[in-house]
Amino acid sequence: MKYITYNEKTNVFSLRTNHSMYQMQVREHDTLVHLYYGANVGDTEITHRIISLDRGFSGNPYEAGEDRTFSLDVLPQEYSGYGNGDYRINSMEAQHEDGSDALHLRYECYKMMEGKYSLKGLPAMFGSAEEAETLEIVLYDRISNLKVHLLYGVFPELDVITRAVRIENQGEKTVTIQRAMSMEMDYPNKHMDFIHFYGRHTMERMMERLPLHHGVQSVESKRGTSSHQHNPFVILCDKATTETHGDCYGFALVYSGNYKCEIEVDQMEQTRLTMGIHPYHFSIRLNTGDVFETPEVIMAYSDAGLERLSHIFHDAYRSNLIRSKYVNTPRPILVNNWEATYFNFDEEKLFQIAKAGKDIGLDLFVLDDGWFGKRNSDYTGLGDWVVNEDKIKGGLPKLVERINGIGMKFGLWIEPEMVSEDSDLYREHPDWCLRIPQRHMNRSRHQLNLDITRKEVRDHIMGQIFKVMDSCNVEYIKWDMNRSVDNVYSMALPAERQGEVFHRYMLGVYEMMEQLVQRYPDLLFENCSGGGGRFDAGMLYYSPQIWCSDNTDAVDRLKIQYGTSFGYPISTMGAHVSVCPNHQTGRSTPFETRGVVASAGTFGFELDLEKLTPEEKELARRQIREYKETEHLVQTGDYYRLTSPFKNNDYVVWQFVSKDKKESIVNGVMLRNEANPHIHLIWLRGLEPDQYYKDMASGAVYTGAALMKAGIPLPVGIGDYQPITFRFERQ
């Protein structure tokens, strides 16, 4: 069955997945208009919703002649340009050599292919001929002879459609691209809500739901990263949409740098959404024959609520975005020494933490910041990726051999994109950082951004890191990035190309990460940017997990991990048990509760294991054992948000269900207890109604229908922040 079709009589393109359909049409004057995106409605072509009227102050293209009803200002377009009578937010802007900036993109041709298109140097979903189909539609501007290739990838079984744009200059003159969105989506009405995920360092991806209003709403980042402040994943949904009911649309940008998602409700109460690279400090000069490709957007539609939408993204990422062998393989459970020691350690202290980890059943010891150069504080050493043998006597090979000798794997923290002013690298190559001539540099964490746009910089840094890794058995890397990109100017580029620095920087980072994963294919690779500052689909192409937040407080993590779950698989969230009082909040929560929250992610520990009490060590052993028994549910199961931490101040509960419906775990936290308490019921989801499920703790047996329709009572205990745990198996 072909999932992409073209009707030559009506000029309608139809893209179908198992449960969704996307349509567009070539109409008058070779204009490509958007018709429909939503539930699969069969063979009907949704051409009847476009009604042309004479709209005052909405101009008409010259070729329309005396037809005042044809205006690009009100038509739902597939990909709009600037300067053609459409005054709404648009997808593309370009400046020509004569200083003009008009673009009139007309339909030229199309091509269909088996399999999924690819993008040069950019992360994107992948798909074989059996998994995906590609549609390429070419638009052109007849004056500049710019060709704009609209790329669509259709994954029928995943219910996903991807979009990207390839811009090609076939003209004789240079054109400067000033705006190039990856996609545009026009809706016929404004009666929707906008869900986005805002935040800050240590409190990322807080969910916010707002009604659409007239004018423009946007989320964006100009920080050189996808950022802690906003996330490049958004949802549009009907006002009545809930977790289990209603229409909703998800859009995820597969990019880790500057981006912008804009939504405009226009004069006709139509809604337009665009998403792609932020136009700020962005310009790409295309000489004759040059090509520029935009990052990819992954789109999904659900008519069964937000829960189903999340499942679509989770499954798509796990099967056709994340490439690591660890996407479905049990991952080593680690202990990271950062909150245990910070910069104050020696090789014996590190070994003792590893030894204590082995004693409670851990698999991996991770050495965090401070092992290189003269790195005794965050003021020095970045860029000098040579082992500090004053702190680690005998060097890393000796330490790693010792740790491997007790049956523990070894992992290492790196921050390849940064340099300290107090470093040998900076003293030798001050021009190797981003810096604006004749201006003082902005510092952050007292470090500077290396000019990753330059190949000699990338080669030097990765050469140092590879030398360290090749000297010993490193089986895990945590790649950190602890400041926003600033002082944006490259000494290696001419003035007219400085607008390319942000994007070239991101391409350089992707190239470095690709070198890492190709050189060490069995490496467990975890991304990090001060925690969740680059938690995006682009990073997941290189690493199967991302450190979710530098905030390890179990109560704060309930909101952080809840918001993250809407667009990202639970198995991608790095989550650790840390010490109390917590280092970020000062809050104390029970050890069991910290384990329950961390088990809704890639489970690990981040504390001084030598200081655990005997009781805590026994609890840790049990947590590790139980997580290994249920890890497959976290990695491959379906995730259900049974309550929202933004709406419920008493308890937060979530659930995993295996794909075959045979197993389920329900976890959560009782946030606040009262005297003479209420009995709270929780209703499970995702089970087989007519099958029997055994509560493995109590031995009680229920039908799936009883658990989902009648509910089960939450435990009654004493004290705040008490853990909630259930485990069910089908009989």
Per-residue pLDDT tens over the stretch 579-588: 999 999 999 9
Residue 451 designated active-site: no
Per-residue pLDDT tens over the stretch 247-277: 999 999 999 999 999 999 999 999 999 999 9
When pLDDT is cut at 50, 70 and 90, the band that residue 649 belongs to is confident
The stretch 475-491 carries a mean pLDDT of: 97
Strand (E) positions, 116-174?
133-141, 146-155, 160-169
Residue 674, pLDDT score:
87
199: phi then psi, degrees, rounded to nearest 5: 165, -155
Judge whether residue 718 has pLDDT over 90.
no
Residue 532, pLDDT score:
96
Q: Do you find a cis peptide bond into 581, omega within 30 degrees of 0?
A: yes
Judge whether residue 1 has pLDDT over 80.
no
The stretch 84-89 carries a mean pLDDT of: 94
Per-residue pLDDT tens over the stretch 590-631: 999 999 999 999 999 999 999 999 999 999 999 999 999 999
Rounded Cα gap, residues 586 and 597, in angstroms: 17
How crowded is residue 687: how many other Cβ atoms within 10 Å of its Cβ? 22
When pLDDT is cut at 50, 70 and 90, the band that residue 664 belongs to is very high
When pLDDT is cut at 50, 70 and 90, the band that residue 93 belongs to is very high
Q: What is the CA radius of gyration of the chain?
A: 27
Instruction: Name the CATH superfamily housing domain 4-320.
Output: alpha-galactosidase from lactobacil brevis (2.70.98.60)
Rounded Cα gap, residues 431 and 337, in angstroms: 34
Q: Which residues contact 549 (CB under 8 A, 6 or more apart)?
A: 202, 203, 204, 531, 532, 556, 557, 560
When pLDDT is cut at 50, 70 and 90, the band that residue 183 belongs to is very high
Handedness of CA 589, 591, 592, 597 (dihedral sign): positive
DSSP string, 633-666: HHHHSEEEE-S-TTT-SSEEEEEEE-TTSSEEEE
When pLDDT is cut at 50, 70 and 90, the band that residue 239 belongs to is very high
Per-residue pLDDT tens over the stretch 442-462: 999 999 999 999 999 999 999
Asked if 150 and 139 count as a contact pair (C-beta separation under 8 A), the reply is: yes
Residue 648, pLDDT score:
84
Amino acid at 93: E
Per-residue pLDDT tens over the stretch 504-549: 999 999 999 999 999 999 999 999 999 999 999 999 999 999 999 9
Rounded Cα gap, residues 691 and 705, in angstroms: 8
Judge whether residue 164 has pLDDT over 80.
yes
Asked if 360 and 630 count as a contact pair (C-beta separation under 8 A), the reply is: no
Rounded Cα gap, residues 110 and 686, in angstroms: 42
- Rounded to the nearest integer, the mean pLDDT of the chain is 97
Residue 616 designated active-site: yes
Residue 596, pLDDT score:
98
- Domain at 651-730, CATH class: mainly beta
Judge whether residue 327 has pLDDT over 80.
yes
Task: Please give, one letter per residue, the 3-state secondary structure of 56-115.
Answer: CCCCCCHHHCCCCCCCCCCCCECCCECCCCCCCCCCEEEECCCCCCCCCCEEEEEEEEEC
When pLDDT is cut at 50, 70 and 90, the band that residue 190 belongs to is confident
**Which sequence spans correspond to the domains of the chain?**
4-320, 332-417+456-484+526-635, 651-730
Residue 623, pLDDT score:
97
Q: Which of 93, 159, 526, 536 is catalytic?
A: 536
When pLDDT is cut at 50, 70 and 90, the band that residue 717 belongs to is confident
Rounded Cα gap, residues 424 and 422, in angstroms: 7
Asked if 687 and 664 count as a contact pair (C-beta separation under 8 A), the reply is: yes
Q: Which of 136, 220, 238, 616 is catalytic?
A: 616
Report the interhelical angle of 347-360 vs 395-405 (nearest 10°).
20
Rounded Cα gap, residues 71 and 190, in angstroms: 20
Per CATH, which fold does 332-417+456-484+526-635 belong to? Answer: TIM Barrel (3.20.20)
pTM, to two decimals: 0.97
Please give the structure tokens belonging to residue 457. 């910089």
Asked if 86 and 73 count as a contact pair (C-beta separation under 8 A), the reply is: yes
Give the closest residue to 683 by CA, choosing from 641, 645, 637: 641
Per-residue pLDDT tens over the stretch 25-78: 999 999 999 999 999 999 999 999 999 999 999 999 999 999 999 999 999 999
Judge whether residue 127 has pLDDT over 80.
yes
